[in-house]
Amino acid sequence: MSDGATLRSRVKDDRLSLLLDLGSRLHREVGLDDLLREMGSRIARALEAERATVFVVDAASGELRSRIAELTELPEIRVPPGQGIAGAVATSGEAIRVDDVTRDARFFAGVDERTGFRTRSLLAVPMRDARRATRGVVQAVNKREGTFGPDDEAFLTTLASQIAMAFEWTSLRSDGAPRGVWVRGPYNHIVGDSPAMRAVYDVLKRVSPTDATVLLTGETGTGKGLVARAIAANGPRAAGPFVTVDCTTLPEALVESELFGHERGAFTGADRRATGKIEGAHQGTLFLDEVGELPPAAQAKLLRVLQERRFERVGGRDPVDVDVRVITATHRDLAREVRAGRFREDLFYRLRVVELELPPLRARGPAEITALARHFLGVYARRHRREGVTLGEACLAAMAAHRWPGNVRELEHAIERAVVLCDGAVWPEHLGLLPAPASERPTDGVTLPLGLSLEEAGRRYCEAVLGAAGGNASEAARRLGVGRNTLARKASRRTDG
């Protein structure tokens, strides 16, 4: 094959595998910045360009947002609506091809000035979904030989629309926005931007690239399973297996054989050798959910796996070596289980090399509850073919005031239920929220979640006083020591996200 033919066939391979890989990566809990960055460098390769960037249009602000790997000094590019060539593409929805940007008045030189990179030729195409709405822009810069041609434009346009449609399966979805996507957090499928969740992402980002054993704690439904998958999906073992064992669903007699496997004849009915889940996780990640339920014998064997990466199958003598990363989760207070003699202390310390506690939903603030509710509304409206369902103000207020003992899972089920039961608009009664048990309800007062702004806390307090005064504004104002106008203003300002 001539050099030219080899290059053409490599480019063709690059273009094909790009489309194939995209789908599988987007289904995981990957970091979205890394994903956009990786797509950028692969698109650059497939187009024989020096650089390519995937911008998303932020539905909230209309800005174009992107991250670029090579530019550590400029970690995120934000382009105001309409600015530069990419901005023009986002606004018009039409592709733009430029052979020499110095001759194009639309070109915005600001980024080049800050980075020292020199843009010559450029191809920018809109990411449009099946509804032809623009969700982002893909831009390739500096064709290595010559300039970008109509073939490049056709390929990139197809790829960009595939990406726009694939986004509908991620948390970068449009959910009814006329343009752009909702940017709800840095990880795919994990919604949340509150300070409490930011702290979780900080740890997640640090531990993912390592092999450190992580113990995830937090109330039921806070997302421990989701975060375990995110740690694996963003680490060096991402391509290896991810094996989950739920220790609550295993009958005690079977736990050991399930985890470690057994030899033929190990017990009645063991008519052949079986490998366990730990062997199945070789070179990947083993996620032990509800590790606090593990019986003592299995705890001892697990300790040895963590210390020596070695164990024996049930009924076997030959040691088996494994290379696994272990992540565990529990809703129990393991330190207390240790004190009560139900959990091995040495195992406890091995498991909590890094401990990551997921915050309860009520500590994340009303803006995040709203963002999660809208996220699930998008998911279930599509699943149950009820596009166009909306959440009203009254719902948002009811959700902000609820305690959420079942956390995100409870919210998810409330929204799914509401999507099915409502017609068009969701009202608080569709959510089926159970009132807190009387013992947890203040007899005379109001419970405010942490994470509210002072203004929002004040508003809710005023509303509660108003309620306690039977809706009599003069009486409520007297109790609060303010005038009626001040009360009306304070009680009606709503802040939701």
Ligand X SMILES: Nc1ncnc2c1ncn2[C@@H]1O[C@H](COP(=O)(O)OP(=O)(O)OP(=O)(O)O)[C@@H](O)[C@H]1O
**Binding residues for ligand X (CB under 6 A):** 189-192, 218, 220-226, 331, 372, 408-409, 412
Choose between 127 and 372: whose C-beta lies nearer to ligand X.
372
CB of residue 226 to ligand X, shortest distance in Å: 4
Choose between 122 and 408: whose C-beta lies nearer to ligand X.
408
SS3 413: helix
Give residue 224's region: left, alpha or beta (phi > 0; psi -120 to 50): alpha
CB of residue 222 to Mg ion, shortest distance in Å: 9
Q: Where are the beta strands (DSSP E) in 218-297?
A: 242-246, 285-289
Choose between 229 and 301: whose C-beta lies nearer to ligand X.
229
CB of residue 223 to ligand X, shortest distance in Å: 3
Closest residue to ligand X: CB criterion: 223
Q: Give Rg (Cα) of the chain.
A: 27
111 binds, among Mg ion, ligand X, none (CB under 5 to 8 A by kind): none
190 binds, among Mg ion, ligand X, none (CB under 5 to 8 A by kind): ligand X
Q: Does 315 bind Mg ion (CB under 5 A)?
A: no
d(CA 282, CA 276): 11
Choose between 101 and 191: whose C-beta lies nearer to ligand X.
191
CB of residue 54 to ligand X, shortest distance in Å: 22
Choose between 48 and 219: whose C-beta lies nearer to ligand X.
219
- Give the CA distances from residue 483 to residues 448, 455, 457, 480, in Å, rounded to whole numbers and listed in that order: 24, 17, 19, 9
CB of residue 224 to ligand X, shortest distance in Å: 3
Choose between 204 and 426: whose C-beta lies nearer to Mg ion.
204
Name beta bridge partners: 76: 67
315's CB contacts (< 8 A; 6+ apart) are: 262, 263, 264, 265, 266, 267, 270
Lookup: tokens for 262: 């057994």
CB of residue 377 to ligand X, shortest distance in Å: 12
SS3 391: strand
192 binds, among Mg ion, ligand X, none (CB under 5 to 8 A by kind): ligand X
How many Å is the maximal CA-CA distance in the chain?
90
409 binds, among Mg ion, ligand X, none (CB under 5 to 8 A by kind): ligand X
Q: Where are the beta strands (DSSP E) in 129-276?
A: 134-143, 214-217, 242-246
CB 407 within 8 A of CB 372: no
Please give the residues from 200 up to 239 whose contact with Mg ion meets the rule CB under 5 A: 225
Lookup: tokens for 298: 């299995």
140 binds, among ligand X, Mg ion, none (CB under 5 to 8 A by kind): none
Please give the residues from 119 up to 178 whose contact with Mg ion meets the rule CB under 5 A: none
CB of residue 314 to ligand X, shortest distance in Å: 27
CB of residue 416 to Mg ion, shortest distance in Å: 18
Choose between 248 and 472: whose C-beta lies nearer to ligand X.
248
Sheet with 214-217, edge to edge strand ranges: 242-246, 285-289, 325-330, 214-217, 354-357
Choose between 409 and 478: whose C-beta lies nearer to ligand X.
409
SS3 398: helix
Choose between 363 and 408: whose C-beta lies nearer to ligand X.
408
222 binds, among Mg ion, ligand X, none (CB under 5 to 8 A by kind): ligand X
Question: How many beta carbons lie within 10 A of that of residue 357, not counting itself?
Answer: 16
> Residue 476's closest CA among 490, 494, 462, 493?
462
CB of residue 277 to Mg ion, shortest distance in Å: 16
Closest residue to Mg ion: CB criterion: 225
d(CA 75, CA 156): 24
Applying CB under 5 A, what is the total number of residues that bind Mg ion?
A: 1
d(CA 77, CA 136): 13
42 binds, among Mg ion, ligand X, none (CB under 5 to 8 A by kind): none
Site residues (vs Mg ion, CB under 5 A):
225
